[in-house]
Amino acid sequence: MPGNKYNCKSLHTQKQAELSEFFLTDGENLALSGDEDCAEGVAAARAFADGCEWQEGQPSKQRLLVVANRLPVSAVRKGEDSWQLEISVGGLVSALLGVKEFDARWIGWAGVNVPDSVGQKALTKALAEKRCIPVFLDEEIVHQYYNGYCNNILWPLFHYLGLPQEDRLATTRSFQSQFDAYKKANQMFADVVNEHYEDGDVVWCHDYHLMFLPKCLKEHNSKMKVGWFLHTPFPSSEIHRTLPSLDQKLLRSVLAADLVGFHTYDYARHFVSACTRILGLEGTPEGVEDQGKLTRVAAFPIGIDSDRFIRALELPQVQEHMKELKERFAGRKVMLGVDRLDMIKGIPQKILAFEKFLEENLNWRDKVVLLQIAVPTRTDVPEYQKLTSQVHEIVGRINGRFGTLTAVPIHHLDRSLDFHALCALYAVTDVSSCYILRDGMNLVSYEFVACQASKKGVLILSEFAGAAQSLGAGAILVNPWNITEVAASIGYALNMPADEREKRHHHNFMHVTTHTSQEWAATFVSELNDTIVEAQLRTRQVPPLLPIKGSVDRYFQSNNRLLILGFNATLTEPKDTLGRRGGQIREMELKLHPDLKEPLKKLCDDPKTTIVVLSGSGRSVLDNNFGDYNMWLAAENGMFLRLTKGEWMTTMPENLNMDWVESVKHVFEYFTERTPRSHFEVRETSLVWNYKYADIEFGRLQARDLLQHLWTGPISNASVDVVQGGRSVEVRAVGLTKGAAIDRILGEIVHNKGMKAPIDYVLCIGHFLPKDEDLYTFFEPELPSDPPVPTIPRPTSVPTPVNPSLPKISTGKSGSKGSRLKKQRSLSTLEKRANIGIVNAWRPTLMRDRMSLHEGSSVLDLKGDNYFSCAVGRKRSSARYLLKSSDDIVTLLKELAEGREPMPLDSEGGAMPLNSESGEQSSEII
């Protein structure tokens, strides 16, 4: 059976005894044997199972479903329906055995293939008594998912060892087939979780084996509280992106979790950075945001159950063992390595460094011994098999070279030790050698420290182990690749004076005994609970999704509709479809979404519909994309207006002060030169520095710096607004917002069309900068007491330098037409309620004091509900509704263009209320 060979064959009677206690009394199913005198080890090993006893009479413990690839026990079949359970070994199991605060169940693979239902039933029953629930994976899945995708692809990649060459995987083991098996296995885990999940449970998924699990779980039940913790390093995004084209899916799946945890801040930072750089999402100090959904990301450094080790040292059998070891190695200093026989543990490098030390220090040759416990692991993976032979060869060579008839310098064991033997070994060690190439944390270094209260030995620790962040000050940190440096460190450690050893040990001991595995688990789960509460609060502030059906129905019930559409990220293709090489030049030009061409054409030709594309883009961009349609184009945030049949005219206030342009341009030039793939646009009324194609993190830093330059220099006294976008900085003349412009645009449209009937439907969609969201609120009725909406400031005395030749929109006698439009729109309390989504039929009396068209009727008659403002791809907005992406706009405009029959009116002649199924009141995060 392929699977873990970590400990099964090498368990001692002591471990068996722990298990017989741990797994209580099922004589039928369990075939265990062991000593009676191992109370200490037993107490520790039963920690996980203890949950059920604690439950009696204590109903308040939260249920915790721990989901990990491996159960804390591996099963060995003893008969058709009889199983022996052996405790699994590894950092993850060790740490989670310390989790006692919860009513916990563990879901995972028992490390064995059980094809028959009799065997499955018996094993399920045996495991159930230990609060373990099996996921049955067949041999082929284990081969492709565990040996293949997990241990041959993700494991080396996450530890910076690179990907294997795909042709070495053979045809049946391509990346794709292994990835498919990985997904399938994750779904199998999800199915078992779903089956056992109860409302309120916390589901804690562990490690790189289960990166798909959060998504599978949330798809099944979005209310499930899901946390995911990675026990390995998370590599730099540059490494992560080499995962062939599948990486985005993995990252996205993990992001479905509510809380994502790592051992160190560096790993968390790498993860956020991968999400920002590869997925283009927004990284914040809290985590990663994707359209309003925040996935909390944080560091939760794991610990050990230190008391368990400290107590074990007092046990007579451990003392006895220590005595034997001391006698055995009397007169020699003991160096110790305890590792799974894994490439990441750097065992060959460790042994070579020891060889170099012996080479250079003749006097130490018979005075020091290296004990290396190399626990066999993942023995079905060829790379691990190769490593075993390589290590044997080096050990043999060095022992041959430096050994004598009575002693060898290296004692190498291909097996695991039981807990008490391990504690004794840790306690008699002088120098612990943890020069791992990469390790998520490395609990062995913690365990060594816990057992060194009297000896105060030295820890040599790789700077690439997560533990270096916590034990770095007390340990001697080394680069394991630098064999010369490691050899020198061995000498330094062996010769270290007692007072220095004491100081260093004290520092580490304090850390290990205060940052325990119990505390780690409790912190993670409590953070997960808090995250859910915060997410619920945040959700309430997010506008609901646009009720498509309702908005379409009302469109067809209306006779004079106005559609105001943004361009960038509204009518263009969604950026996700550009893939992660989104920085390429060909994508720099904004292009109308191809699927929108037809519906847009139909809508433009509908005499009852007026369409305005209102964009920050310049005139030529709008000309190129919309020149063939019959619509209004409003370029540069509405500063220029054109009916596509006519000429451009400007809505700009006269004598606009643009003195600041040249000096702002200099600053933009400076930063463009120094920020690869950034660029800037000089528009007629604004300047935009854009870094959306630049390295996102560098771009953000540069933007911050650029703003400082601007504020302290060119714009310190200028009448400008600085508008920060997601990846841009725009400087524009003060007050030139889309909301201010629409006032005048609308006036022009009404005038141009000679409109007789009021506009009775407005759909306004855009991915606007916060400053331009005043467009959404423009159409919201105001309370009489509300302050007036800011309008363009009076033109200054300096004449505007731009396009003096363009025709001006006439502003009429008593101010602009727009100002007059605004004036008549006062709001009753009832209308205000309509703004927050309360269905509101038409009330003619409330429209009485609105501005008149030529014959005295109102320009806007939206009946309270016939106004749909939608922010695209935003999480928070002053729009009434949200849309996820321009794909949704395709759906919406297609429906509008189809031209179906209007929905019937209600008995009073008003529009029917919006459908509740439409999501109008729902606060679902998109």
Ligand X SMILES: O=c1ccn([C@@H]2O[C@H](COP(=O)(O)OP(=O)(O)O)[C@@H](O)[C@H]2O)c(=O)[nH]1
Binding span for ligand X by CB under 6 A among 87-95, 184-192, 743-751, 883-891: 87-95
Which positions touch ligand L263DTV3 (CB under 6 A)?
A: 4, 6, 70, 90-92, 95, 207, 231-232, 302, 377-378, 439-443
Residues in 93-122 that interact with ligand X by CB under 6 A: 94
877 binds, among ligand X, ligand L263DTV3, none (CB under 5 to 8 A by kind): none
Nearer to ligand L263DTV3, 464 or 567 (CB): 464
Least Å distance between CB 447 and ligand X?
5
Report the distance separating Cα 917 and Cα 547, nearest Å. Answer: 8
Q: Does 487 bind ligand X (CB under 6 A)?
A: no
Q: Return contacts of 626-632, CB within 8 angstroms, 24+ apart.
A: 626/592, 629/600, 629/601, 629/604, 630/604, 630/605, 631/600, 631/604, 632/745, 632/749
Nearer to ligand L263DTV3, 150 or 641 (CB): 150
Pairing of strands 82-87, 73-79: antiparallel
Does residue number 89 form part of the binding site for ligand X (CB under 6 A)?
Answer: yes
70 binds, among ligand L263DTV3, ligand X, none (CB under 5 to 8 A by kind): ligand L263DTV3
CB atoms within 10 A of CB 801: 13
Least separation, in Å, of the C-beta of 345 and ligand X?
7
Q: Which of these ranges, 85-93, 124-132, 141-149, 895-903, lies near ligand X under the rule CB under 6 A?
A: 85-93
Range in contact with ligand X (rule: CB under 6 A) among 91-99, 198-206, 535-543, 711-719 = 91-99
Residue 42 beta carbon to ligand X: minimum distance, rounded to whole angstroms:
15
| E strand or H helix that includes residue 829 | helix 829-835
C-beta closer to ligand L263DTV3: residue 334 or 443: 443
The reply to whether 91 sits near ligand X by the rule CB under 6 A is: yes
**CA distances from residue 691 to 273, 584, 696, 699, 766 in whole angstroms, order as listed:** 17, 13, 8, 6, 21
Contact range with ligand X by CB under 6 A, out of 189-197, 318-326, 442-450, 619-627: 442-450
- The H or E element that residue 222 is part of is none
- DSSP string spanning 270-314? HHHHHHHHHH--EE-SSEEEETTEEEEEEE----B-HHHHHHHTT
| 8 touches ligand X (CB under 6 A) | no
Beta strand pairing call for 476-478 and 63-70: unpaired
Residue nearest to ligand X (CB): 91
Q: Which does 731 bind (CB under 5 to 8 A by kind): ligand X, ligand L263DTV3, none?
A: none
97 binds, among ligand L263DTV3, ligand X, none (CB under 5 to 8 A by kind): none
- The reply to whether 429 sits near ligand X by the rule CB under 6 A is no
Of 89-97, 781-789, 805-813, 833-841, which part binds ligand X (CB under 6 A)? 89-97
Alpha carbon separation from 542 to 484, 568, 839 (Å, rounded): 58, 22, 19
Pairing of strands 287-290, 761-766: unpaired
Question: Which of positions 358-387 make contact with ligand X (CB under 6 A)?
Answer: 373, 375
Q: What does residue 729 show for φ and ψ, rounded to 5 degrees?
A: -130, 125
CB 373 → ligand X: shortest distance, Å?
5
CB atoms within 10 A of CB 652: 26
Give Cα separations from 225 to 67, 367, 693 (angstroms). Answer: 13, 56, 36
Closer to ligand X by CB, 420 or 820: give it. 420
d(CA 616, CA 634): 8
Q: Is 4 in the site for ligand X (CB under 6 A)?
A: no
Q: Which does 739 bind (CB under 5 to 8 A by kind): ligand X, ligand L263DTV3, none?
A: none
Q: Give the number of other Cβ atoms within 10 Å of residue 383's Cβ.
A: 16
In the complex, the smallest distance separating the C-beta of residue 185 from ligand L263DTV3, rounded to whole angstroms, is: 14
Nearer to ligand X, 100 or 832 (CB): 100
Residue written as token pair 């033109």: 795
d(CA 431, CA 151): 30
Q: Which residues contact 510 (CB under 8 A, 6 or more apart)?
A: none
Interaction between residue 340 and ligand X (CB under 6 A)? yes
302, interface contact from ligand X, ligand L263DTV3, none, CB < 5-8 Å by kind: ligand L263DTV3
Q: What is the dihedral of CA 445, 448, 454, 455, to 10 degrees?
A: -80
Nearer to ligand X, 215 or 345 (CB): 345
Judged by CB under 6 A, which of 338, 478, 656, 892 binds ligand X? 338
CB of 240 to ligand X, least distance (A): 20
Number of residues in contact with ligand X, rule: CB under 6 A? 17
Amino acid at 916: S
Establish if 72 lies at the interface with ligand X (CB under 6 A): no
16 binds, among ligand X, ligand L263DTV3, none (CB under 5 to 8 A by kind): none
Residue 487 CB, nearest approach to ligand L263DTV3 (Å)? 25
Contact 708, 672 (CB under 8 A): no
Q: Closest residue to ligand L263DTV3, Cβ-based?
A: 91
* Minimum separation from the CB atom of position 376 to ligand L263DTV3 (A): 10
Q: Examine residue 443 and tell whether it contacts ligand X (CB under 6 A).
A: yes
Question: What residues have CB less than 8 Å from 508, skipping those under 6 apart?
Answer: 449, 459, 471, 473, 474, 475
Q: Which residue has 């809290």 as its token pair?
A: 286
Q: Does 442 bind ligand X (CB under 6 A)?
A: yes
Q: How does DSSP assign 258-271, residue by residue?
A: SEEEESSHHHHHHH
Euclidean distance between CA atoms 762 and 556, whole angstroms: 12
Helix, strand, coil percentages (3-state) for the chain, rounded to 5, are 45, 15, 40
Interaction between residue 233 and ligand X (CB under 6 A): no
Residue type for 594, please? P
Q: Note whether 90 binds ligand X by CB under 6 A.
A: yes
Closest CA to 415 of 915, 895, 10, 913: 10
C-beta of 302: minimal distance to ligand X in Å?
8
Partner that binds at residue 207, options ligand L263DTV3, ligand X, none, CB closer than 5 to 8 Å by kind: ligand L263DTV3
Please, what is the minimum distance in Å from the beta carbon of residue 434 to ligand X? 8
Interface residues with ligand X (CB under 6 A) are 89-92, 94, 338, 340, 373, 375, 416-417, 422, 441-444, 447
